[in-house]
Amino acid sequence: MKILIIYAGGTIGQVWDPVRKCSRPPESDADFSATLEKITSSYKDISFSYKFYTTKESSNMQPEDWQNLADLIYVEQLLYDAVIVAHGTDTLAHTACALALAFYNPDIQTSELLIPIILTGAQIEMFRPTSDGDDNLANCIETGVSTAEKGIADVLIVFGRSILLGARTTKTSEVELDAFHSPSFPTIGRILASGVRLENPPLARMPDVRERMFIRQIYQSKNSKTAPTSRFAINKPSNGLDENAQGISVLTISYQPGLSPLLFKALVDQPEVVCVIIRSLGAGNICTEGRPLLPVITYAYQQYGLPVMITSSFIGGNIQTKDETGVLAIRAGIIPSSNYTEPAICVKSQWLIANGLVKDLESFVNGIQTSFVNEVDFPKILEKTQKPSSLGKSAVANEGLSFAARLARYKE
């Protein structure tokens, strides 16, 4: 069996620098492989290869990094049985969801992923005696072998003893070693004393021979250095002060009592904002008295046809919008997010836009309420009753700053 281990930054690969007397990122493939050798050397029947991708801090990972990482794996997966990605923990869940979506090809409505991709990280550097990185890496290897042998081709996260679906996982602690959970989706499996136990998970399977031949034809028709059909960046990198930088952004705000509706309106009016995600206080409830946000939501919907979505501030929150304030928010035009994790809905919004899968509000809502890689469950009741009325049917008041016009900024 052949396994590729990619270093994509983070604590897990850091080494001790005796001169500076501090930890530092590895500087090369050899530096990285030396860090892992105490674990990998015990697996005599596995051939390991190493790729040094980036030393970025996890918080500095960008949509371009997701795309480039997918590019790398897209080509390398033809040569290996499994890929392990060592990653910083802060945005590990974002990268996992992005990789799952990156391999999905809307043209053939299936994934081009041929092998399991398993992401992990560490809360403590591997050179420290109490590090969790050793166990996490060993558990990744065990999971990689088990899933490859079972014909699974999906993106997973292994952290602690848990095996989690990448597109359904979020970080829940900065200090606990069991730092990742899948709050609205069953744990895929566990690493026990007896080995890897998969809980009959609904995972994507490796393509059969005929499908593999079809996918290989897709590979051959593309430049071998290109990424899969997916992109994620919807604006250009800038120094943060360049007012001429073109592009659009998905904006996430956290609602707190006292938030000024006028501030919210000012954000909605910005042509760079193409989608707003509001992190609500409960299961989708929005303030309707005192400083109500509902008029601004209606304004965003009627004035621009702008998608405004609502999530929960609670880990595992499922947007049901059964209370009066939630129902009123739906009538005002807000889009419920069901049981998306926050990383997943942010990444998917960018994926839909960057890949031209949406052209108006209605197609955006349809995309959000469609599960491509098992990233969300949308109950039929939400699909039937919790879409804004006359969605996409009526003309918006301000065509110049409409959702469609803002999407065009991405293409400029």
Cα angle 152, 55, 187 (rounded to 5 degrees) comes to: 30
Interval 160-183: pLDDT, tens: 999 999 999 999 888 888 889 998
* Helix boundaries (H) for 121-243: 133-149, 209-221
Q: Which residues contact 239 (CB under 8 A, 6 or more apart)?
A: none
Is residue 6 within 8 A of residue 73, CB to CB? The reply is: yes
First to last CA, the chain: 46
Identify the structural domains of the chain with CATH numbers, from first to last.
2-221 (3.40.50.1170), 249-411 (3.40.50.40)
d(CA 400, CA 108): 34
At residue 224, the pLDDT reads 47
Residues with Cβ < 8 Å from 379, sequence gap 6 or more? 338
Task: Spell out where 36-188 has E strands.
Answer: 47-54, 82-87, 104-105, 110-111, 117-120, 155-159, 162-165, 170-171, 180-181
Please provide the average confidence, as pLDDT, over all residues in the chain.
83
Residue 374 — left, alpha, or beta (φ > 0 → left; ψ -120 to 50 → alpha)?
left
pLDDT score at 389: 46
In this predicted structure, which of 62-66, 99-103, 390-394 has the lowest mean pLDDT? 390-394
- Show Cβ contacts of residue 333 under 8 Å, excluding neighbours closer than 6 positions: 297, 298, 300, 301, 302, 308, 388
pLDDT of residue 384: 42
Whether residue 106 is predicted with pLDDT greater than 70 in this model: the reply is yes
120: helix, strand or coil: strand
Q: Do the beta carbons of residue 156 and residue 117 sit within 8 Å? A: yes
When pLDDT is cut at 50, 70 and 90, the band that residue 380 belongs to is: low
344-374 per-position pLDDT tens digit: 999 999 999 999 999 888 899 999 999 999 9
Q: What single string gives the DSSP state of each residue in 367-409? A: HHTS-SSS-----HHHHHHSS-TTTTTSPPS-GGGSHHHHHHH
At residue 256, the pLDDT reads 86
Whole-prediction pTM: 0.88
Q: Which of 112-121, 124-133, 317-326 has the highest mean pLDDT?
A: 112-121
User: Given this model, what pLDDT does residue 317 score?
Assistant: 58
